[in-house]
Every structure is written in C-alpha cells, then in structure tokens.
Amino acid sequence: MTEAKSPASSRRPLTLRDVAEAAGVSEMTVSRVLRGRGDVSEATRRKVQDAAARLGYVPNKIAGALASSRVNLVAVIIPSLSNMVFPEVLAGISEVLDETPLQPVVGVTNYLPRREDKVLFEMLSWRPSGVIIAGIEHSDAARAMLRSSGVPIVEIMDTDGEPVDAVVGISQRRAGREMARAIVERGYRRIGFLGTKMPLDHRARKRFEGFTETLGKHGIEIEDSEFYSGGSALAKGREMTAAILGRSPDLDFLYYSNDMIGAGGLLWCLEHGLDVPGRIGLAGFNGVELLDGLPRRLATMDVERLETGRMAARIIAEAASGERPSKRRRIELQPVLQPGDTMRPPRD
Amino acid sequence: MTEAKSPASSRRPLTLRDVAEAAGVSEMTVSRVLRGRGDVSEATRRKVQDAAARLGYVPNKIAGALASSRVNLVAVIIPSLSNMVFPEVLAGISEVLDETPLQPVVGVTNYLPRREDKVLFEMLSWRPSGVIIAGIEHSDAARAMLRSSGVPIVEIMDTDGEPVDAVVGISQRRAGREMARAIVERGYRRIGFLGTKMPLDHRARKRFEGFTETLGKHGIEIEDSEFYSGGSALAKGREMTAAILGRSPDLDFLYYSNDMIGAGGLLWCLEHGLDVPGRIGLAGFNGVELLDGLPRRLATMDVERLETGRMAARIIAEAASGERPSKRRRIELQPVLQPGDTMRPPRD
DNA sequence: ATGAAAGCGCTAACAC
DNA sequence: GTGTTAGCGCTTTCAT
C-alpha cells in the first residue's frame, strides 16, 4: 500500500488555529485543553482532543515558551559520555526529573574550557529552567554567564571551591586523602600512581593532590608514575602496569586514577602471578559496576554518582516549582572506600 | 572580593533592545551584527560587539527560532546511555554536526515504546531540523509523527524493515546469520546462546532470528540458552556461563548477545581452565573497545557505530543546508567479523 | 548601510 | 466556560 499524500504531510506544520477550526472553538480553548489548564466543559474538551489527535497536532513549544517565558528544559553540561561516570549521574538526574515537567538536555564539553563556554552559551540561549554543570572550575566568562542567567545553577562532583550557586558532590581532595590513608594504614609504603594525561581534568588533579598530601604527612613520596591518553583504558591499564613494574619492581601498591585502568592492571598482575594483595595492592577510583565481574573485586572509592545526580535535579526541580530555595546550597557527599580484594586488611 | 550586585544580575534577561540602546543603534542592526548577516560598517559592528560583550548579552534563541522558523537542533533518540554502543554513535553524530551550525539533542527511551512516543513528541514540539532515531520499529503513532514532521528522519542501526525516510546501519538479521556461518565453518556444532531478557530490543531479537535461521540450514539447533536482565553485565556473563555449562557441559560454543557478558564468560572459562578456543569457542557482539584489554581478544562482530553516526548526521546536515536530498536514502553497512582469539580458524 | 513595520504561534490577562 | 486582545523577543521584508 502506497502512502497517500494525506493532508497531514503538507509541509506546513499544524497550528493551534488549525485545531481550533477543526473543533469549532477558539484557539484559546484549544490551548487550555491541550495544557489541561482552566475550566473547559467535558464536551468541548473531547471535541478538541479528538480534533488534535485526528490531525496529528504537535504543539509548537517555541511559540509556547516565548509567550509564557517558561521553558521546561534543564541544561546538563558534562565533559564526556564515554566515561561511564557521567551517564550514571545523568541517570540520577533523569530519575528525578521524570517526576516533573522538566526535561534534561545534555551538552558535552570534552573537557575543553572553550567548548564548555560555547555549550553553556548555546544552552543558556534556550533559556532553560536550570543548569547542572560538572565541576566547579569554569572560565570567568562561564561564571559570569551562569551568574547572570537568573536560573538555579548546580555545580556537581567537586566541592573544593566556591560555587556560583549550589553544589553537590564529594571533595575530590578528600577522596584522594582518604585513599592515601587507607593505603598507609594497610602497611603499603612504596607507591606508584597511574593516571590520565589530562591537565584539564581538575577532579583527577585534586584527587592526586590530596593523595600526595596525605602520603607526605606520613613521610612517603610517590616512587613512580605513569600517564596515558586515549585508547582502550583496560589495555592501557595493562601496558602501564607492565611498564611501571618493569621500571620499579619494588612497588608494593598501585593507585589508578580510574577503575578501568585499574581493572587492566589487576588482570595483568594476576596473569603474571603476582600475589595480590600480599605482595602488591591495587586500587582504582569510582566504584563502577563493571568491577563486579572481575576475578577479584578491585579496591575503589565509590562517589555516589546516582545520588549526586538525584540531589542536583531535586534542587533545580524545587526552584522551578516555585518553592523558596532550600537552605542546602552545599551538599557534600562522602566518598566510600570499598576495599574489595586487592588491599590487605588494616594493621592495628 | 564580594560580588557586587551588578546590573547584569538583575532578574530580567537582556534583550536585543538593551544592547541596541547601549550601542546607540537600532535593534535590527544589532541583530545583523550578532548573526553576521547583511552589510554593517566596521565601526558599528565594533560598537555593537563591545556593547553585547560588556553587558553579557545572551541571545534568546526561542524568539529567534519563532521569528525565523529555523531551529538548529537535531533530535537524537536512543534507548539507553549505559550501553556503550549508543554514546559511540553519538560521538559520530557530534563529530559531523560540529562542523555545522546544528546541535544534537539527546532523548533516551529505555527501550520503552511508550517513552519513545513521548520523547519523540516532546522533541518534535521543539521543531528540530532533523531526527535521528535508533531502530526501525516504532509505534504507529511514532511513525505518523515522524512522517508528518516535515523534517528529514534517519533511522539507524537496523535496516531490516521499511524506514519512514532514510536509514543507516547494518542488517541485524544478517549479522546473526554471518556469526552463525562463521561458527559452523569453524567446526563448532553444539551451540549455546546467552542474551538479555529484552523482548523490546528488536535488534537483539533479529540477530537471534538470523542466527538460528542459518544454524537451521546446517541442521543445527541451539542446545541451550540463558537470559538475564539488570545488574553488572560482566558479572552476569560469568554467572550465566557457569549455569549453562553446568547444565550442558558438552556445549562447544557460546554466543553472547553483547561483548560485556561475553567478556565475563571468557574470564570464567579461563579461570576454570577450559581450552578456549579448542574445547569451546566464544563470541560476543559489537566490537567494543573494552575488549582490547582482556586476556584474550573475544571474537565479536563490529558494527561500525561511529560511521553509522557520521553518515546519519551527514544526511541531516545536507538536508538542513538546503542541498537537494542525496539519492542514498538507504545505507547498509557491513558487519565485520573479528575472530579474535576465541574461535579456532575455519576448516577448509 | 541602517531603520520601521509586521508578524512568527502561542499564552496571560481580562472581558463576557 | 469561552472569547478577545495584546504582546513574548526576535527576524523578515521593505523602505530609505
């Protein structure tokens, strides 16, 4: 059966007026029915709904938004989608916004400040009801845009600094410090660090700073380190582990800046018969679900990504629904050490 | 330094008129400068740009879009962000759209037709310049909306069916058939299948149908199967592998519906000392980068996700830039078998 | 090279 | 309960 050239396929999209004429009422009445606002008699309501459905009317939110100056979009700005951390935060955001009329719109910056500025500018030009943005480090321009946007802003995943408005997440420095403490408590002393070559990843940098700071207090310095960029993180974890242990075979702990390279390192160590966690301990960062299926559970630090997303979304949703802003503008979640099977127990 | 209550932080967002007044020209001139259209003298151009920058003016795209009936958004509708396949397609889309004025806007359906209808409706109500949507199976309502939207539509990742407009991807049935052929050619005969419990994942279903169809032609039936839902795919892969081999120890090949559970299965087999690929062969599906770091490279079928995204985006970009639509409305990419190390070589 | 007028499709506010 | 009027902040079109 060939598609008949139905009227619906004419190039001009339908307007309220079309529905109004088809239903024999005013545009205003159609508008009320379609938004479920105001009093409309059951009879006209049905007439209108029938007409709209029959014609296949899709409202024009552009016009609606302009007229009402209400836009049910929440800008969500994150550095990447390929690091599973961010989709998980997004899941938390969606979960909460699904209960509201708000909708998330995602922008990706690839960790580039320039792109962040641009993405933010683009999104703000759609006049969203709120902004959730990863990190607390932004260009002056970005901070100015956020400040003068007039909508609620939630910076997430890093509380080390001054937020523009609200902030939800963990202290990355503290996460680094706590991991260092856990390692030292467990008697490891010769420590290697493996991470990404990403000067622009402020969260990784702060973790590293916190980590070295606490080691320093115990008179320990990182003995060797390896950095990578690009490629399959699992494979890189293997390569880097081989390289660092080739150079510095006496290391007794390897701290990886993310779970994926940590998993690669774990596989390498097991294949090479190293005694984990006796001879050498391993830890990653993030607590990604993936780890559950590894031969041993890699030690890691869970950062409550889902909850971060949820709380950020709640702040926006509250503000958008006109509630007076809650007092809690700064929510610091606690990173939770999961020692898994790749760290020996603490000495007492 | 405390933030002074600058005029910019007044609650009313700036309009063109504000910039026009500040620059001492008409709104129209400001509009021209900001869009880089029409002839404006260098002098006024500078005046306007200065004023806009100084005030921190962010244009209102809602008003602009309504006036020009041009919206530089491309709706991208996918089932999930946690299956890495989709972020990769998105990366291909972004790569191409970054060279154009177009911007992707992502909607996630969680594999639910209801949600797909809703997300599509919401996105169409913003009058995007095009739609890229995963799959070729949609509700009647969704197909009607797509058809009457008046914008270019590209359905991706599955070519087995009648697209509304254009389609880019692989034939999932064919991918299933080719995997079956490869397995049979390599002398495996007692085959188990492990997959997701997702009646709504049409692509997985079609692959399965193609798979069994080709096996059938060789007089082979699947001997046993396992299905899962939820949880860590890697862990599930292990569990299911243990379960299926516990029940049916004579299986000599396991076909997993995705690489993640395949990887879990591979780890399990290696830990239990099974001879892979001699005693038992394994294969997954998708060709995810993750696999590079596994102890052995899992056999898989690469489906060119990046390229799929790129080509879909190109079709939209062409149409949006007013070029007459290219003839290629149906682009079938070829799934590529990557035998890795978990299938023995074909018998000749 | 610049400006003035009209209107995009809808909703707020007010009449009836 | 329903209709009318006047914009929302831009861009299009046409005049100068």
Residue A96 sits in the same domain as residue A129: yes
Asked if B140 reaches chain A (Cβ–Cβ under 8 Å), the answer is: no
Could you tell me the end-to-end alpha-carbon distance of chain A, in angstroms, rounded to an integer?
Answer: 79
> Is residue A267 pLDDT above 60, yes or no?
yes
Mean pLDDT of all residues in B93-109: 96
From its phi and psi, is residue B150 left (phi > 0), alpha (psi between -120 and 50) or beta? left
Q: What is the pLDDT of residue B5?
A: 36
DSSP letters for A256-313? ESSHHHHHHHHHHHHHTT--TTTT-EEE-SB--GGGGGSSSPPBEEE--HHHHHHHHH
Q: What pLDDT does residue A75 have?
A: 98
The Cβ of residue A110 has, within 10 Å, a number of other Cβ atoms equal to: 16
Q: Which residues in A212-252 belong to E strands, given as ranges?
A: 224-228
What is the per-residue pLDDT for B312?
A: 98
Residue A191 pairs with which residues in a beta bridge?
A253
Within a domain: residue A247? yes
The answer to whether the Cβ–Cβ distance between B81 and A91 falls below 8 Å is yes
CA of B24 vs chain A CAs: smallest distance (Å): 23
Kindly state whether residue B66 falls inside one of the protein's structural domains: no
The answer to whether position A160 is within a domain reads: yes
- Cα angle A321, A327, A331 (rounded to 5 degrees) comes to 100
Q: Are residues A292 and A222 in the same domain?
A: yes
Task: List alpha helices for B69-225, DSSP H.
Answer: 85-97, 113-124, 140-148, 172-185, 202-217
CA distance A99 to chain B (A): 13
Looking at residue A92, its amino acid is G
When scoring B10, B19, B57, B58 by the number of chain A Cβ atoms within 10 A, the one with the most, hence best to mutate, is B58
Query: What is the total count of domains within chain B?
Result: 3
Is some CB atom of chain B closer than 8 A to the CB atom of A94? yes
Residue B239: which H helix or E strand, with range? helix B233-247
Whether chain A has a CB inside 8 Å of the CB on B68: the answer is no
Q: What is the pLDDT of residues A28-54, one digit of tens each?
A: 999 999 999 888 999 999 999 999 999
Cβ contacts of A6 on chain B, cutoff 8 Å: 148
Cβ distance of A147 and B66 shorter than 8 Å = no
Mean pLDDT, chain B, as a whole number?
A: 93
Judged by CB atoms closer than 8 Å, whether chains meet at B233 and A105 is answered as: no
Interface membership of B8 toward A (CB under 8 Å): yes
Give the model confidence (pLDDT) of B286-300 as tens digits: 978 778 899 999 999
Q: Does some domain include residue A68?
A: no
Show Cβ contacts of residue B313 under 8 Å, excluding neighbours closer than 6 positions. Answer: B74, B92, B93, B94, B95, B96, B97, B102, B104, B132
Q: Tell me, what CATH number does B285's domain have?
A: 3.40.50.2300
Q: Based on the domain organization, do B204 and B147 belong to the same domain?
A: no
Contact A237/B at CB under 8 A: yes
Dihedral sign for Cα atoms in the order A86, A90, A93, A96: negative
- Answer yes or no: is pLDDT of B322 > 90: no
Q: Are B234 and A293 in contact (CB under 8 A)?
A: yes
Bridge partners, residue B337, by sequence:
B301
pLDDT at A9: 45
Same domain, A204 and A156: no
Contact A235, A228 (CB under 8 A): no
Structure tokens at B244: 């299926």
The reply to whether B260 and B230 lie within a common domain is yes
The answer to whether position A263 is within a domain reads yes
B301 backbone dihedrals φ, ψ, rounded to 5°: -130, 115
**A148 and A195 together in one domain:** no
Task: Return the number of other C-beta atoms located less than 10 Å from residue A122's C-beta.
Answer: 17
**Taken in order B311, B317, B319, B321, is the CA torsion positive or negative?**
negative
User: CB–CB of B58 and A121 under 8 A?
Assistant: yes
Taking the C1' atom of D8, which residue's CA lies nearest? Answer: A67
CATH number of domain containing B51: 1.10.260.40
The reply to whether A326 falls in a domain is: yes
Secondary structure (3-state) at B289: helix
pLDDT tens column, A277-333: 999 999 999 978 778 899 999 999 999 999 999 999 999 999 998 877 666 789 999
Q: Judge whether A325 is closer than 8 Å to chain B, CB to CB.
A: no
| Token digits of residue B198 | 């997702």
Output the DSSP codes for A108-127: E-TT-HHHHHHHHHHHHTT-
Q: Which of B340, B195, B206 is nearest to B257 (CA)?
A: B195
Is B160 in the same domain as B139?
Answer: yes
Are residues A57 and B144 in contact, defined by beta-carbon separation less than 8 angstroms?
A: no
Q: Which of A293-297, B36-40, B61-65, B259-263 has the lowest mean pLDDT?
A: B36-40
With respect to residue A61, please indicate whether it lies within any of the assigned structural domains: no
CA distance B263 to chain A (A): 9
In this structure, the answer to whether residues A141 and A260 fall within a common structural domain is no
- Same domain? For A314 and A298 the reply is no
Task: With CB atoms and an 8 Å threshold, state whether B87 touches A88.
Answer: no
Contacts of B194 (CB under 8 A, 6+ apart): B225, B226, B227, B228, B237, B240, B241, B244, B254, B255, B256, B257, B261, B265
Which residue of A lies nearest to B102 if distances are taken between CA atoms?
A: A122
Note whether B101 and B208 are same-domain residues.
no
Tell me which residues have their CB below 7 A from strand D. Answer: A 25-29, 32, 38-41, 43-45, 63, 66-67, 69; B 12-17, 27-28, 31, 34-35, 37, 59-60, 63-64, 66-68, 70
* pLDDT tens, residue by residue, A90-139: 999 999 999 999 999 999 999 999 999 999 999 999 999 999 999 999 99
Question: Cα angle at B212 between B207 and B213, to 5 degrees?
Answer: 95
**Which residue in the set A61, A82, A233 is minimally distant from B125, CB to CB?**
A61
Cβ separation A149–B13 shorter than 8 A: yes
Contact A3/B at CB under 8 A: yes
In the predicted model, is pLDDT for residue B3 greater than 50?
no
Residues near strand C (C-beta below 7 A) are A 12-13, 15-17, 27-28, 31, 34-35, 37, 59-60, 63-64, 66-68, 70; B 25-26, 28-29, 32, 38-41, 43-44, 63, 66-67, 69
Mean pLDDT of B192-208: 93
Based on the domain organization, do B176 and B286 belong to the same domain? yes
Mean pLDDT of B240-258: 97
Which structure tokens are listed for B290? 């993750």
Q: Protein A343 CA to nucleic acid D8 C1', in Å?
A: 62
Q: What is the mean pLDDT of chain A?
A: 93
In terms of domains, do B176 and B298 share one?
yes
Cβ neighbours for B273, distance < 8 A, ≥ 6 positions apart? none
How many angstroms separate the CA atoms of B67 and A27, rounded? 20
| CA–C1' gap, A41 and C15, in angstroms | 19
Residue type present at position B34 = L
Q: Which residue in chain B has the smallest CA separation from A236? A: B293
Contact indicator for B212, B222 with CB cutoff of 8 Å: yes
Within a domain: A325? yes
Instruction: Average the pLDDT over B251-262 and give the result.
Output: 96
pLDDT given for residue B10 in this prediction: 52
- Distances, alpha carbon A135 to alpha carbons A75, A96, A132, A195, B53, in Å: 14, 20, 10, 19, 25
Percentage of chain A modeled with pLDDT above 90: 87
A19 CA, D6 C1': Å apart:
22
Place A57 in a pLDDT band, splitting at 50, 70 and 90.
very high
HSE on the CB side for A171, CA within 13 Å? 15
Find the mean pLDDT for residues B63-87.
95
Query: d(Cα B210, Cα B214) in Å, to the nearest integer?
Result: 6
User: How far apart (Å, rounded) are the C-alpha atoms in residues B325 and A105?
Assistant: 29
Q: Answer yes or no: is pLDDT of A10 > 70.
A: no
Residues in Cβ contact with B182 at an 8 Å cutoff, skipping those fewer than 6 apart: B283, B299, B337, B339, B343, B346
For strand C, which nucleotides have at least one atom less than 7 Å from a protein CB? 1-5, 7-13
- Model confidence at A5, pLDDT cuts 50, 70, 90, reads very low
Decide if pLDDT at A153 tops 90.
yes
Q: What domain range includes position B123? A: 73-170+305-334
